[in-house]
Amino acid sequence: MDKNVKIYIAGHNGMVGSAVWRALSHLGYTNLIGKSSKELDLRNQAQVTDFYERERPVVVIDAAAKVGGILANSEHPYMFLMENLQIQNNLIDGAHQNEVKKFIFLGSSCIYPKLAPQPLKEDYLLTDSLEPTNEWYAIAKIAGVKACEAIRKQFKKDFVSLMPTNLYGPHDNFDLKSSHVLPAMLRKFHEAKLTNETVELWGSGTPMREFLHVDDMAQAVVYALENVLPEHLYNVGTGKDVTIKELAETIQNIVGHEGPIKWDASKPDGTPRKLMDVSRLKEQGWQAKIDLNTGIKMTYEWFLENQKSIKKNIL
């Protein structure tokens, strides 16, 4: 890939987009484009069309999305469905209409059925019902995957979808009302450490989850950028999972919180297990490198160094 190729990273200020930007910059890519939501409202088709016609990117990496955890999805289902559909439809169709050569669509492992066999294979898509707590977001992302597949099938274009497992790392969302489990736990344990309080966590602690550091995700995007992949859909993860209880104890140990943990079993657990089968991408030559313990340590260090700039006022 020519290091001067014009690459548009949608969502470049977010956790994933900023990690992709860092990775590409480090590799010497010099023609990266990023627009804030104030500069370009991706929900607005006219604005996105004008952007494509004006900037003419050769590559588009779609890391833009409306994201959140169980609580946010439950309270705002229409927003999670509609805004994600608007964002990705405008980006995908705009790329198609303006002859973008490569489009990388980023989604989530929640696209797979709630009770699909484990580990989750790409072939399990649309074989059963979704997890109700995040089905609105999942349906939008499934539509994006199928749109890229359709363009690839009908027009022979290099549109590929990467479905990461649960991501974490620098620039994550640490707001307790809208964040995912790992950053929420990290914040809770940090604040409880300062006050010597009990940490209360949702659910039973028994569900199993897989976690991928966002810098590993960025390297997977780079790999998809620099190689022509033969399939339209690839899982991105570590291929290893832990119970939520094990995750909590790992974070507690890294943060240094010494108080008790209280589990609220009246709160929903979500999907019992969600482990990705990552063999398809591994067979193409890519695999994750950052183990969970190291990744959480890196994330906590970033958290401590950036408390004043973290969104939603963490303290």
Binding site, annotated residues for NADP(+)? 11-17, 106-109, 141, 164-167, 180
Among residues 204, 202, 292, 209, the alpha carbon closest in space to that of 243 is found at: 209
Annotated binding site for substrate: which residue ranges?
A: 188, 202, 209, 269
Contacts of 174-179 spanning 24+ positions with Cβ under 8 A: 174/303, 174/310, 174/311, 174/312, 174/314, 175/311, 175/312, 177/71, 177/72, 178/68, 178/69, 178/71, 178/72, 178/312, 179/68, 179/69
| CA 6 to chain CA mean position, Å | 23
Give φ, ψ of 128 to 5 degrees. -165, -175
Cβ neighbours, 10 Å, residue 296: 24
Annotated binding site: which residue ranges?
A: 11-17, 106-109, 141, 164-167, 180, 188, 202, 209, 269
CA neighbours within 13 Å on the CB side: how many for 219? 15
Specify the DSSP element, H or E, that contains 243.
strand 242-243
Sheet holding 59-62, edge to edge: 32-33, 7-10, 59-62, 102-106, 158-164, 233-236
Range 6-26 burial, b when 16+ CB lie within 10 A, else e: bbbbbbbebbbbbbbbebbee
Catalytic residue among 29, 112, 137, 223: 137
CB 63 within 8 A of CB 92: no
Q: Among this protein's residues, is 112 annotated catalytic?
A: no
Among residues 171, 149, 172, 174, the alpha carbon closest in space to that of 159 is found at: 149
Place of tokens 């949608």: 10
Active site members: 137
